[in-house]
Amino acid sequence: MALIAVLWLVAALSIMVASLSTSIRQEARTLSGKRDMVAAQAVGDAVVQLVLQKVRAAERVPDQWSQLNVAYSGQTVVAQITPLTGLIDLNQADLPLLSRLLTVAGELAPEHAAALAQTIIDTRQQRDSRGSVMRFEAEEDLLKVPGVTYDLYARLVSLVTLEGRGSSRVNAKAAPPPVLLVLANGDVRTAEMIHAKRLSGDVGIDMSGLDTSLTDNSSSNRLKITAVVPVDAGKSVHVSRSVDVMAPAPDGTPWSTYRTSSSIQLTTPVN
């Protein structure tokens, strides 16, 4: 009986040790992941600052989407420059553009997309107690619109802005690849062809495959700079800042920052 009791005690202790060991390994992985996230965030912030310095020193504000490789802290980080006129302004876009956005990027049926687009317009045109139009104040306000789920919001948020200061349309030259796909009505081949030629530095790119009723040539001093920092296999940290590069901040910074964000995303080929 004593031997059996000892064996049971040894078995119980073994289970406890194994459980504790598993818990410690999981905690170590969690701490390691948080450490990598903080380090990547710091690298991304630094890269964004370097790109902003380069943009501010240039003769003019970029008017089309571009990307460049930035060497920092022993690694090469991809930085993307997006003029905010290349994104879809939630407070300016009209019904056709919002419907197209919800159909192509939101993956909704056309009828559902049109109805939800009208709901978005109705929501931004509501008036407060003083009679002033309320408008959207942050991209997250989309979640207040009836019918917008978090999954839908996540598919749209990187394609929209509130600080474009442009028209109700989109400048196709300034549009990132996902917005090009919206303007091409989901035609992947057309969007990829335009994007590839843009990356290669071609001039006079044929934009006839895009819906011209949704595009214009509006310009702005406002940009979104995004640094894509790889953290491990299959994942990267995206650090973004939206700025007005020609409006100095009160603290003396040569540009004013309107929005910052960071997220972990699955790594996809930038090209």
Rounded to whole angstroms, the Cα distance separating 162 from 69 reads 28
Condensed to tens digits (0 to 9), the pLDDT of residues 104-116 reads 999 999 999 999 9
- pLDDT for res 142: 94
| pLDDT tens sequence across 203-228 | 888 898 999 999 999 888 999 999 99
For residues 221 and 178, the answer to whether their CB atoms sit within 8 Å is: no
In this prediction the pTM is: 0.83
Residue 126 lies in a domain: yes
pLDDT tops 70 at residue 267: no
* Distance in angstroms (rounded) separating the CA atoms of residues 265 and 158: 12
Which of the four pLDDT bands, split at 50, 70 and 90, describes residue 187? very high
Quick one: pLDDT at residue 15?
77
Long-range contacts of 48-55 (CB under 8 A, 24+ apart): 48/79, 48/225, 48/226, 48/227, 48/239, 48/240, 48/241, 51/79, 51/81, 51/225, 51/227, 52/225, 52/241, 52/243, 52/245, 52/255, 55/81, 55/223, 55/225, 55/245
Assigned token pair, 63? 């008017």
Q: Which domain holds residue 118?
A: 87-216
For residue 270, what pLDDT band results from cuts at 50, 70 and 90? very low
Residue 119 lies in a domain: yes
Higher pLDDT, 9 or 115: 115
pLDDT at 202: 84
Task: Express each pLDDT in 120-162 by its tens digit.
Answer: 999 998 887 787 877 899 999 999 999 999 999 999 999 999 8
Confidence of residue 234 (pLDDT cuts 50, 70, 90): confident
**pLDDT tens for each residue of 152-179:** 999 999 999 988 666 799 999 999 999 9
How confident is the model over 173-194, as a mean pLDDT?
95
Encoded tokens for 24: 């410690």
The answer, yes or no, to whether residue 241 has pLDDT greater than 60, is: yes
Residue 137 lies in a domain: yes
Q: Is 43 inside any structural domain?
A: no
What is the C-alpha to C-alpha distance for residues 223 and 61, in angstroms, rounded to an integer?
A: 9
From 8-12, 15-19, 96-100, the region with the lowest mean pLDDT: 15-19
